[in-house]
A and B are shown apart, each in its own frame.
Chain A
Amino acid sequence: MQPLQIENLVKSFGARRALDSVSLELREREILGLLGPNGAGKSTLVRTIMGRVSPDSGGVQIFGQAAPAGNTESRRAVGVVPQEIALYPLLTVHENLGVFGRYHGLEGAALDESIDKALQWAGLHDRTADVTKTLSGGMKRRLNIAAGVLHEPRILLLDEPTVGVDPQSRERIYEMIESLSERGVSIIYTTHYMEEAERLCDRIAIIDHGRIIAEGTQEALVSQTIGGAREIVLDCGTAPDDAAAAALVARGASIDGAKVVIRAEKPAEAMVDILAVAAKNALPIHDLSMKRPTLENVFLHLTGRELRE
């Protein structure tokens, strides 16, 4: 029985179809990345799982039980971390956790214990009396996440939890999320940062215009879309002359000023070949690199657009 099973979700807002036959499953202990540009339907999907959006058709099952829209008992196993800093800015760190703990039905010693655990986990145990609005951006983000796990949910929905966070704080948040996964929590992680998806997620679902256009591990997605080819980039410093350019183009290269790009199924052979052409034509070599295909390339391949357009 999977923690979350989503079947053929359809939701339209007026003429705009926000979710178009979306089917997904979240497996035990996995971090499933939901990757897509802004407006792709990620937040609508998360809100549907939360029960806040009533789908036109299709449904959600949580641990095998149908979860109709609304604040139902079946959703007690789900924790939510919204994209915004959804906290009370004038309350202290401890007071904010107390508020949301009580809203989750915790009280007394159980509440105190949950708050202590959350503070330790988020690295905020020495800031409990600080007023939330005085915290740094990264600390607010950590507190925002901590407020979503007080009731120890078995499924956690994280909606772009690192927006506006510096790289150091982001790394701290990744560690928090990984420790959750190790504790057995199944996580849906929405983002439009491919680096995050690559760093954190066991599987990735790419969503665009309300549709899941690809789903699988990063390797599987690359292999299914781009295959085993690698991109070799040669920077000559100046544009190659006509003879050199003709030799490079004959080997499948595209030339953009001083930059020569070749996509190769056998990258080692291709590199040797390019270096030989450069030597023969006295081309200066400023830089030579080989790039592994990324999710960005996958998205570009699937949609013809950059992920952050």
Chain B
Amino acid sequence: MITSVARTSWLNLRRDRAAMVLSFVVPLVFFSIFAGIFGGQRNSTSKVRVAVADEDRSPESKNLIDALARESSLDVRLVPDAKQPAVRFDAKSVEEYVRKGSAPAAIVIPKGYGAAPIQFSGSSNAPHFKILADSSDPVASNVISGMLQKVVMTSSPTSMMRAGTRELDRWSGGLTVQQKSALDQNISTFEKSPAAKKAGGGTLVGIDVVDVLGKSKKNPVIAFYAAGIGVMFLLFTATNAGGALLEEAESGTLDRILGTRVTFTHLLLGKGLYLWMLAVTQLTVMFLWGSLAFGLELRTHLAGFALMAAATAVATSAFGLLLATLANTRQQLGALSTLIVLSVSALGGSMFPRFLMPESLQKAGLVLFNSWAIEGFTRVFWREEPLTSLAVPILVLVAFGIAFFAIARRMARRWEMA
């Protein structure tokens, strides 16, 4: 009896393609996406991109840059534009590079670094490195800071020797013959001294971390997640609301509608308009809540928000119509939308920032419309770029919207005429 019940359930599952997709395909797709993102596709940890501006231009600073470039965990960029290799970063252009989101952090090697690369005891007068950080990626600046400490120590053995000798003079009182014999003992003393402990604490080189983005924001990560989560749920809402078309087809209402003056193009455009208004309202509510509850700076970015919300809604509403016209039943739509929306959201950066993904996935994400929506909102709320910088994301989103609508119109022909 029990096996009969189990068998009946299995037969039902076998006949229900949507349930089969949800049971077996969706988990595999997600496993692959997450494995790709966090597993780096068989690579070890993904590289942290860092831009380097060399203000010192000394042999020591060159050594340091070469050593940084050899680090497997860093992707070092020295020029803002690969087509002009002669034009290297300076302090200004490297900050702009981070501000645009091209790298999560940058190192500025200060003038005078070559003269005194290392101070065991630390000195406020000594030139300090600057790490210019985009605090939306809190990991990158810490990784770069640690790597910089390590590279400075290992990349300049002569500097280390000179610095060591200076410290030896200081602690031994001069390198007399008698004192040479006491060197080992004094080094032992040094190792136990507070200064040595301080050296181990990371002050071999002075580093100032400067947030070039988000330092004035009350809760900087909110801007990113308001966009990411907002766009993801916009897609779910749009596909769900687009499913009304399937209900109308199943209930015969579509037949009745098409027996009136309403053509299928009217019908799709009308539904698209409704989905667009729904999406704009949904985004407005989302960002208002972000503003009220989490201090998102909506009031000062209203124009950018309005432009991006309007363009994002064009793409998501047409996407909802497209999925609805691809499916034959509500159940199919449920399975299809779960699979596609979650995949697109994961790869497009709704669930976690794209800059945390391997570079190949970051590039792949650019073919997804939602990544452009998130990019646009990030430019408005995070990087505070001028409205003109939204031209490309807006054009891409509108182009996606037009393409989705055209395909949806084409797919809908099966309902229109037998």
Contact = CB atoms under 8 A, between A and B. Distances in A.
Given A71-B263, A103-B262, A104-B260, A50 B255 contact: yes
11 contacts: A47-B418, A52-B416, A52-B417, A71-B258, A78-B259, A80-B255, A84-B253, A85-B252, A86-B253, A100-B256, A103-B261
Contacts of A33: none
Given A53-B417, A80-B255, 20 more contacts: A13-B418, A47-B418, A50-B255, A52-B255, A71-B262, A82-B252, A82-B256, A83-B252, A86-B251, A86-B256, A88-B253, A100-B256, A100-B257, A103-B257, A103-B260, A103-B261, A103-B262, A147-B256, A148-B259, A151-B260
B261 A104 contact: yes
Given A47-B255, A147-B256, A52 B418 contact: yes
Contacts of A252: none
Contacts, number: 61
Contacts of B418: 13, 44, 47, 52-54
Contacts of A75: 259
B404 to A, nearest CB: 24
Counting chain A residues whose Cβ lies within 8 A of the other chain, the interface size class is 20 to 34
Interface string A68-98: 0111000110111011111110000000000
A52 B258 contact: yes
A84 B251 contact: yes
Contact of B417 (A54, A80, A88, A148): A54
A19 B402 CA distance: 38
A87 B247 CA distance: 11
Interface in B243-302: 251-253, 255-263
A53 B416 CA distance: 9
A105 interface: yes
Contacts of B251: 84-86
Contacts of A69: 417
Contacts of B261: 71, 76, 103-105
Contacts of A87: 253
A79 B256 CA distance: 9
A111 B253 CA distance: 20
Contact of A82 (B255, B263, B416, B417): B255
Contacts of A79: 259
Given A69-B417, A76-B261, A148 B256 contact: yes
A44 B260 CA distance: 18
The 10 residue pairs across chains A and B that have the minimum distance between CB atoms: A84-B252, A103-B260, A80-B259, A86-B252, A82-B252, A86-B256, A86-B253, A53-B418, A103-B262, A104-B260
